[in-house]
Structures are given as C-alpha cells and as structure tokens.
Amino acid sequence: MAVLEILTIGHPMLSKKAERVEKIDPALVRLAMDMVETMRRAPGIGLAAPQVNVGKRLITIDLSVGEKEDELIILVNPEIVRQEGEVVGEEGCLSVPDIREKVARPYRVLVKGQDLEGREVEIEGEDMMARVLCHEVDHLDGKLFTDRLSPLKKTLIRKKLKKTADTGLKL
Ligand SMILES: [Zn+2]
C-alpha cells in the first residue's frame, strides 16, 4: 500500500463531479487500499477518490482511524437514498487544512453502493457516520464542506487560507 498525496482546496479536481465506476478492476482495488492507508496515515476518518486526484466515485471511511479493522468501509458508487433529521456539528476536511466549521447534516442516512467485489451493499449511518457519509458523497459531487457555509463564513475562510499561504505554510 502507498500513501497518496491529498489535494487541497483550490485544486480543480476537488470541484469536479466524479465519474461512476463501471468496472471494479485490480487498479481500482489497489486505489482503494492506497486510500485506506492514506486516510489512516493523515489521520482522517474519511477520504474520497477526488482528494487523491482520481475522479471516480469511490470513498473510504473508518471512524476508528485504524483501531478496529471491522469498522473500515469501502464504497463504490455510493448514493444517499434516504435521509432523516438534521444535526449541526463541527466538521473539518483533509483537503481544507486547519479549518473547522459548523455544518448542518442529516441525522440519519441510508446509503447504497457496491463493495470491492461488486456486491450491492446498504449502510445506515447515524450522527457522525451520517455526517461522514454525506461529506464524502459531497466530494464525489465536487463539493467541499466550505461550499455549505454562508457567504460571510466563506470569505473569512478564504482570508484565513490566504494568510497561511503568505507565510509559506503548505496549503
Ligand atoms: Zn473532506
């Protein structure tokens, strides 16, 4: 497994709609494994393929950050088919370093997709799991969590990111 470079806000791949995976081949399986390694090393609890510069509908999630192998979720072509309720909670993103903001997300979601063997799977997530599922599916639609904030918040974030860039820190 390899650790891949994670793209950060401003890169065009992050605002592009990712393509459906038509065929689960060895290259896609390898990409998924590399994404798991990259996500755990970051460390992060979720990663979407566009964040590692691949415009395909593939996400990985692990709320335990590598602590529990059975909590690892790898989903191909995930789709939110049902959502309920709303929770406002703090969110961050590996592609938006050092920024955490409150974002409203559904309390519960039902997501359909495929596993790496091509079997249809359904995942019901509540609270944090629902938040991560929505966040990662947003990445596949070219949306960052900052796109869900008010225009004022967005301007403040742009200023903060610019300041970081000016001092030579990596963005
Ligand atoms: Zn993210």
Q: What is the DSSP letter of 143?
A: -
Instruction: Find the 27 Cα to ligand 1 centroid distance in Å.
Output: 23
Beta strands in 62-107 (DSSP E): 73-84, 87-93, 96-105
Read off the pTM: 0.92
Instruction: Find the 105 Cα to ligand 1 centroid distance in Å.
Output: 14
Q: What is the DSSP letter of 54?
A: -
Average pLDDT rounded to a whole number, residues 150-158: 88
Residue 167: pLDDT band with limits 50, 70, 90:
low
In this structure, the strands spanning 73-84 and 120-126 are unpaired
136 given a catalytic annotation: yes
Query: pLDDT tens digits, residue range 131-142?
Result: 999 999 999 999
Instruction: Find the 110 Cα to ligand 1 centroid distance in Å.
Output: 19
Residue 171: pLDDT band with limits 50, 70, 90:
very low
Query: pLDDT tens digits, residue range 97-126?
Result: 989 999 999 999 999 999 999 999 999 999
pLDDT at 170 over 50: no
Contact 46, 75 (CB under 8 A): no
Please, what is the average pLDDT of the chain?
A: 93
